[in-house]
Structure 1
Amino acid sequence: MNASSTFSGSLGMCLVGALLTVTAIGGVAQAAPIDPTGTWQIHDDTARIRIEKCGSEGQNICGYPVWLKTGVNANGLPRLDGNNPDPTKRSRLVLGHQNILGMKPNAEGKYEGRIYNVENGRTYDITAAVVPAHPSQLVIHACVMVVMCENLIWKRVADILPGQLTGPTDGPDGPRADPEWAPVAGTPLGRRTTGTPSRR
């Protein structure tokens, strides 16, 4: 098994049975991360992830798959989150579920936090950052069990593909936030968390 096959798959996170460590690369560390909000097409072109600010002070980032190359299963029905360890979430749609779970900036000019992998129902610790010299690229260095690593490049996109969610989070034709990151009226950016993000 090579690194390319390991990191391929829906949402770019098909990492079976291994710990994922992600470190952004591409320049000297900076005091504050470059804002990664926007829509990104992942490295294998199988999904688009919309990243937006979240948290009570708008310092965190959350993300949602708003387009999938394969949005239906073998029976032609919308894909469901059937591998989720929480039985109550196994009937939710893969398209639009939250997979980046309130990452926060660190002292190295990156964001750190957790990402949920719908392919195996597991959640992983990650860090990520936009490359200063190439703001249209989100370059991520991903390692499985330390010895197998690969650079993953997500590309910023502005066009809208058929079937892509374009509405506001938790609104019509929009993705769906986990309860702890759900939009709340009257808070900065309409989002807050009341505690530690769920570990799924």
Structure 2
Amino acid sequence: MRSILIPTLAASLLSAGVTAAAAAGDPSGTWLTEDGRAKIKIEKCGPGAAHACGKVVWLKTPLNDQGQPRTDIKNPDPKKRSRPVIGLTLMDGLKPEDGGYKGQIYNAEEGKIYDVSVSRESASELAISGCMLKILCGSQTWTKAPEEFAQVAPAPAKAKPAAKPAE
């Protein structure tokens, strides 16, 4: 019995170590972009939650110059230009690869999609590297934001009611 128990225990510890290592590279969480203008929440998504996706949950400047919620105005699809940026999926199809995650990232300021690599630098830092055509590349370091922090899309500015005529 003892010879069976030891290999079983070793296999359990080994698989627990593999799971912990995979979790260490998991990009899930809420992250402040390097420029401090947005917070992106990355969480598991897709079939069997094998992939991760990232959505905008906060903007430093959530309203445009007209006092309306910021929208995806640079989107190449005219039908999508009125969708709010808060709640927009920016990172999609992130799947584990090469010690991190790889997928696509949408740049709402340009209306373009790039290949992206995401990896945990530490518990509080996430390295983001994006490339277009594998030659035009850029990188940022995002920092961990409190999980409870989220922003609800602001309500559009209300027009003032017309004055009632004097009777």
TM-score normalized by the length of structure 2: 0.69
The equivalent residue for 1:164 is 151
Aligned counterpart in structure 1 of residue 116 of structure 2, from 113, 126, 133: 126
Contact 2:103/2:117 (CA < 8 Å) preserved in 1? yes
Match of 2:48 in 1: 57
Q: 1:109 to 1:32 in 2, by over 3 A?
A: farther
Q: Distance in 2 between matches of 1:121 and 1:159?
A: 28
Unaligned runs of 5+ in 1: 1-30, 166-172, 174-200
Going from structure 1 to structure 2, the CA distance change for 1:122 and 1:146 (only over 3 Å counts) comes to closer
Structure index of larger Rg: 2
Shift of 1:67: 0.4
Q: Does 1:85 align with 2:76?
A: yes
Higher helix fraction: Structure 1 or Structure 2? 2
Amino acid across the alignment from 2:123:
P
Shift of 1:60: 0.5
Aligned partner of 1:94 in structure 2 is 85
Amino acid across the alignment from 1:63: G
Query: Quick one: percent identity of the two aligned structures?
Result: 43
One of 89, 99, 104 as aligned partner of 1:109: 99
In 2: Cα distance, 1:57 partner to 1:146 partner: 30
Give the aligned partner of residue 74 of structure 1.
Answer: 65
Amino acid at match of 1:110: G
- In 1, the alpha carbon distance for the partners of 2:45 and 2:147 equals 23
Q: C-alpha offsets along residues 87-112 of structure 1, whole Å, 9 cap, x if unaligned?
A: 21111111111111121111x11111
Higher percent of residues as strand: 2
The Cα of 1:140 is off from its aligned counterpart by 2.9
- Aligned counterparts of 2:132 and 2:92: Cα–Cα separation in 1: 20
Cα distance in 2, alignment partners of residues 62 and 156 from structure 1:
16
Q: What is aligned with 2:10?
A: none
Distance change in 2, residues 1:159/1:102 (3 Å): closer
- The 1:147/1:85 distance shift into structure 2, 3 A limit, reads closer
Larger RCO, structures 1/2 (Cα 8 Å, 6+ apart): 1
- The alpha-carbon deviation at position 50 of structure 1 amounts to 0.4
Change in CA separation of 1:137 and 1:81 when aligned onto 2, cut-off 3 Å: same
Partner Cα separation in structure 1 for residue 49 and residue 75 of structure 2: 28
2:108 and 2:42 map into 1 onto residues whose CA distance is 17
Q: What TM-score comes out, normalization by structure 1 length?
A: 0.58
Q: How far does residue 158 in structure 1 lie from its aligned partner after superposition?
A: 1.1
User: CA 1:145/1:135 → structure 2, altered by over 3 Å: closer, same or farther?
Assistant: same
The number of residues matched between the two structures is 132
Alignment of 1:21-60 (within 5 A): 32=22, 34-60=25-51
- For residues 47 and 144 of structure 1, the distance between their equivalents in structure 2, rounded to whole angstroms, comes to 22
